[in-house]
Structure 1
Amino acid sequence: VLKNPVLSVLRDINFSSILKQSNFIKRDIGKSPYLIILHFLYMFIINKRISTFMKQSSDSYKKDVYYRLLKNSKYNWRKLLLLSSVKLISKLHILQKAADTRVLIIDDTVEIKRGKFMEGSCRNLWNNKEHRTVKGLNIVSLNYSDCYTDMMLDFSINYNRNQIVNVNENYFHHKSNAYKRRVEGNNSKNNLALQMVNRVLKSGIYADYLLVDSWYAKPNFIYEIKEKGLDVIVRLSKSNRIWQFTGKYKTLERLYTRVKSHKSSKLGNYNSIKYSYVSTTTTHKTLGRIKIVFIKTKDNLIPIVSTNINLSDIEIINTYKKRWNIEQGYKDLREYFQFGKEENRIYEALIARITLSFLAYNLTSYINRINNEPQTLGELFRNLECQLETLAIS
């Protein structure tokens, strides 16, 4: 008899209780939110649109039922994602080793959207992949990784000054989930990141380090994270205005020149990229004692700072490499879980679709981890797709 792996995991984490805590109520949509969300998870994992799913499944609901769930302004989608992630991570503890490094990773991605009336979409967003400005969504997200499993914990949509549709024009009560979610996008990306880290730490998720790229590498941001008891490993921007150190050697360039002349560099490689590295410990007026590892490639000098000065150079480098897990996560989300393919004009529906993509990704990552023979996410995805298409979906 075939088992439904997705349904089994949802039962294990008591998903119905999580829905109640997140304000998902049946009377608002006329059908069980549990079953509707289960259908959405099936859609993402077997990679089907709502219309295709309705044609192929005899147990599907009418289209209005799915859209009523997506557009509802009362649901707390953030709480749903975070509580389910907390449960999944807690179940991984028995598989984790004491030596495993657990990290939180902050990053943002730009998803191109061409719709003229999509709430939250902005013009003039820089897209690193396209190397040009585009129209779309700027999504700041927080990821958890323990070396073997990655999970998306939280996200916010950030606006610039070029919003296509003003998301604050629709009236919502100032205490509603919809209102809070809409207005938060006016905050800076650093503030959004701080709020996300706050929520995750309060939920009880433990991590050794927070990893961020140079965009978030501001002394005040790092200081606030450090005050919460979390060490930070971050790539620095080469800005003498932002980064001034105490003592004789105040800039990154002068620090590097001095340390290179006093210490011999060591060699390393990352895939096909060869590099040399050397480190120093210095003092910053806001952060106190910090350790900087200078990585020199053929074309670039990359300074990486750790607030934990007891780590070795190679530990700092290897830990920071884990930041690329979130880039792979975005890639898998786009390829397998319909992330970036949202076409909803309404902001609440957009938040719901992204949350469901992240939830499907987390469940799949968890299923892969608890398997006796872990696969690549692509292999597991194809196996789950076959299993769910074989099952009578209900």
Structure 2
Amino acid sequence: MNRIVADLLSCQNQIDSFFENQRIALLLRQSNILKQCGIAPVAVMRVIFCLAFTGKNLFRYLQAAGSGAEIGKDTVYRFLNSVHANWRKFLHLLSAAVIRTQILPLTAQETPKVFIVDDSLYSRDRSKKVELLARVHDHNQKRYYRGFRLLTLGWSDGSTYVPISFSLLSSANKKNRLTEMAAVDKRTNGFRRRAESLRKAPEMLKELLMQARNSGISADYLLFDSWFAFPSVIIGLLEQKQQVICMLKAMKTITYGYKGFDLTLDDLYKSVYKRRGRAKVLASALVELGKNAEGEAVMAKIVFVRDRSKKKWLALLSTDVELADEQIIALYKRRWDIEVFFKITKSYLNLAKEFQSRSYDALVAHTSIVFARYIMLALARRTSKDPRTLGSLFHAGCDELRQVSFAEALRLLLDQLEQLVKSFAETVAAPIMAMLAAFIAQIPDLLRRSLLLPTAKF
């Protein structure tokens, strides 16, 4: 048995049930991810899927497998670089199945469901020739990096966050793009991915939302932070019949209609009645965002919340004016789920770290596989009611894989020793067999189950 097969077996406890229960092979076929040569796509994906849990990158994995590896480097990159693969459809199918069959049955029907959208830096700061590489501004570090904006749409019921889709955005400004698009057949999914990367984030937000809803995934509200909170974007989302709850940012160019006046957010706060004392909710007001396509006024509720850290206030907007102030605040708190998601994928699941490919298709394919890893961990945490965080679940999974690998090695040694003892004469073999039986009897039950041994093997 070669090393790659042994590694696949070592991942069985953590991954096989996920691949089987979620029918990953079928989802790949439905997403036009088909076999090009002799290796099935699900086998290649399983190898890539396991890398983060084995502690190896692709180079170290193939080096450990040696010349006997059944899946080589060319096979992996041919799988990742396919322009025909529809990875967004794969994520839609996977997330929709997990939500419908695994999460919703565990969630009360009256619990509000939310979409959450945000972008994060996909850094390739040491790269120079990655396709569509751009200079991207990081708002946290206040500087530019080389890479992409990872615009991500997810779903949450308040307990479990499931990533649904994403878009790796380059830059609509040609001056900020360091490398241009490769020549690709315009009829392929690869060309459509590249064309989307040059669009602006608010446009792609509407597109991702529409595609998710067409895939059968729905939610009561869409949550996002102040970077997307422009009246034109909110009105456009309402035209798609999607209610919005978002954070607002005070800007001199953005005004809200209140009692016949167009006021900035700062002026609006000065004009509304404030609650007395140390209330967490300072004030709320109904405002007009603007006119929709039919010329009707679009109303929204703005809630001002005390910001204890900056000794100022924060403003939340809800297009559902029937929601109570406290409900708006409670629902917006769920937006933190996507921040946890970005932390887990970057720190534990090797997002943007596992491969150094220059192909845009490979970046999209690997990011989709990283999202699938997160779905597996989130599903394991939800279905087992495990109180541990996703980070500790990841480390526990890695420890279990290492333990299983050790058990397989010990089982192999015991089998070899058994064959050697049996080759001796009966007078010599009998006492040795008795000693081995006594030794196995002392093996802990947990390790004995991993070795698939009965109480007495010999």
Pick the aligned partner of 2:81 from 57, 67, 71: 71
2:361 maps to what in 1?
Answer: 348
Q: 1:158-185 deviations in whole A, cap 9, x for unaligned?
A: 2222111101xx2222120000000111
Q: Which amino acid aligns with 2:85?
A: Y
2:370 maps to what in 1?
Answer: 357
Q: Which amino acid aligns with 1:258?
A: S
Question: Matched residue of 2:391: which SS?
Answer: helix
- Counterpart Cα distance in 2 of 1:215 and 1:248: 27
Q: Is 1:138 aligned to residue 149 of structure 2?
A: yes
1:205 maps to what in 2?
Answer: 217
Pick the aligned partner of 1:10 from 19, 27, 30: 19
- Counterpart Cα distance in 2 of 1:194 and 1:24: 26
Q: Which amino acid aligns with 1:44?
A: A
What is the aligned-residue identity percentage? 27
Shifted more, 135-144 versus 235-244: the winner is 235-244
Q: Over aligned residue pairs, what C-alpha RMSD do you find?
A: 2.2
1:247 maps to what in 2?
Answer: 259
Which structure has more helix as a fraction of its residues? Answer: 2
Q: 1:25-61 deviations in whole A, cap 9, x for unaligned?
A: 11x1431100111111111233420122234457652
Shift of residue 246 of structure 1?
5.0
Q: Is 1:216 aligned to residue 228 of structure 2?
A: yes
Asked whether the 8 Å contact 2:256–2:287 carries over to 1, the reply is no
Pick the aligned partner of 1:165 from 175, 179, 184: 179
Give the structure, 1 or 2, with the largest relative contact order (CA under 8 Å, sep 6 or more).
Answer: 1
Pick the aligned partner of 1:80 from 69, 81, 90: 90
- Describe the shift of the 1:377–1:154 C-alpha distance in structure 2 as closer, same or farther (beyond 3 A): same
Instruction: Give the structure with higher Rg (CA).
Output: 2
Which 5+ residue runs of structure 1 have no aligned equivalent? 269-275
- Counterpart Cα distance in 2 of 1:67 and 1:300: 52
1:296 maps to what in 2?
Answer: 306
Shift of residue 390 of structure 1?
4.3
Q: Is 1:110 aligned to residue 121 of structure 2?
A: yes
Q: Which amino acid aligns with 2:88?
A: R
Q: Is 1:51 aligned to residue 59 of structure 2?
A: yes
- Counterpart Cα distance in 1 of 2:132 and 2:278: 47
- Describe the shift of the 1:211–1:266 C-alpha distance in structure 2 as closer, same or farther (beyond 3 A): farther
Normalising by structure 2, what TM-score? 0.78
Pick the aligned partner of 1:278 from 267, 283, 287: 283
Shifted more, 311-320 versus 220-229: the winner is 220-229
Q: Which amino acid aligns with 1:280?
A: A
1:307-322 matches, cutoff 5 A = 307-322=319-334
Question: Matched residue of 1:4: which SS?
Answer: helix
- Counterpart Cα distance in 2 of 1:265 and 1:38: 58
- Counterpart Cα distance in 2 of 1:129 and 1:253: 24
- Counterpart Cα distance in 1 of 2:56 and 2:348: 10
Asked whether the 8 Å contact 2:235–2:298 carries over to 1, the reply is no
- Describe the shift of the 1:200–1:213 C-alpha distance in structure 2 as closer, same or farther (beyond 3 A): same
Q: Which amino acid aligns with 2:79?
A: L
Asked whether the 8 Å contact 2:231–2:290 carries over to 1, the reply is no
Shifted more, 11-20 versus 33-42: the winner is 11-20
